[in-house]
Chain A
Amino acid sequence: MSVYSVIFYAVGLVIITATALAVTRHNPIHAVVYLVVSFLGSGALFFLLGAPFLAAVEIIIYAGAIMVLFLFVVMMFRIEKVEPKGYSWRQWGPALLCGVLFLSLLSLAALRDPVGRATLETAMVSPADFGRWVFQKYWLSIEGISLLLFLALIAAIHLGRVRREKVGEEEP
C-alpha cells in the first residue's frame, strides 16, 4: 500500500463525511460550510489523480465562488422553520431506499467489472499542456461554454431584477 493509497482513502473519507454532514444539516449555512470542506477534498483528489489545473479550478470556482454565492443567497432569506426538526420517515424513507438501491447497483457494477480491477498509475499533465490541448482540440466547446455562461449572466440579471412599477400589471 503506497503513500498515494493512504492519501486517497483519507481524502475519500473526508469527502464522504463532509458531504453526508452537508446533506443532513438543518441549517443551510452549516450545509454550505461543510460542502466547502467536501469540495476542498475533491480538489485534493483531482491533484492526486494528476490534474493540478483542475484542482485549482475546483477550489477557486466551486469552493470559492459557487459556495460563496450560495452563502449570500442563504443570507438573503429570512430565517424560517422550513423543515421541521428531526427527520420524518415519510420524507427520508423513500429517498434513502432509492439511494441505497442505486448505490448498491453502482458499486456492484464498479466492483464486479474486470475493467475496474486495473490499478491507476500516477500521471500528471501540466496546466500548459492541458490548456494547449483543450484549445487545439475542443475550442468550439470552450466557445459553447463561454456562450452558456454569458446567457446565464443575462438570465440571472433578468430574473433577479426588481420590477417596481410593473408589479401592478403583472399581478392577475
Chain B
Amino acid sequence: MIVPYSHVLVLAAVTFVLGLVCVLARRNLVMTLIGIEVMMNGAAIAFMASGLRWHQLEGQAFVLFIIGVAAAEVSVGLALIIGAYRRVGSADADTYSLLKG
C-alpha cells in the first residue's frame, strides 16, 4: 500500500492551483502558457491516482491523451506568441491593447 487516495488528490490540487495562480498573476505570455502546462500536469496526476484507486486502465489512457493534447496546445500556443511578438515587439500581455481604440 502506498498512501491514502486523498493525499494524491491533494497533491494534484496543489499543483493545479499553482498553475492557476501562475496564469492569473503573471503578465508574460510564456509564463501564462507554463501555468497551463502545470495545470494539465495536475489533472494528469489526479487521473493517474483515480485509475489506480479503481484499478481501471482508463485513467492511464486519459493521461496519455492529456500529454498528446498538451503537446499540440504548446506548439500552437508558442507559434501564436511568436507571431504576436513579431507584430508588437513584446511578450507582455498588457501591450496587446489594439482593440481599445
CB distance from B72 to the nearest CB of A (A): 4
Chain B contact surface mostly = helix
**B99 in the interface (beta carbon within 8 A):** no
Inter-subunit contact A70/B24 (CB<8 Å) = no
Inter-subunit contact A122/B60 (CB<8 Å) = no
Inter-subunit contact A120/B37 (CB<8 Å) = no
With A49-B49, A123-B52, A160-B82 in contact, is A82–B60 under 8 Å at CB?
no
Output the nearest chain A residue to B86 by Cβ-Cβ distance.
A162
With A57-B64, A92-B25, A103-B13 in contact, is A50–B52 under 8 Å at CB?
yes
Interface code B13-48, partner A: CB below 8 Å = 1, 0 otherwise? 111111111101111101101110110010011001
Beyond A5-B2, A35-B38, 6 extra complex contacts between A and B, CB < 8 Å: A39-B41, A117-B5, A118-B4, A119-B1, A120-B49, A121-B52
User: A residues within 8 Å of B by Cβ?
Assistant: 2, 4-5, 8-9, 12, 15-16, 19-20, 22-23, 28, 31-32, 35, 38-39, 42, 45-46, 48-51, 54, 57-58, 61-62, 65-66, 69-70, 73-74, 76-77, 80, 82-83, 91-92, 94-96, 98-99, 102-103, 106-107, 110-111, 113, 115-123, 125, 130, 133-134, 137-138, 141, 145, 148-149, 151-153, 155-156, 159-160, 162
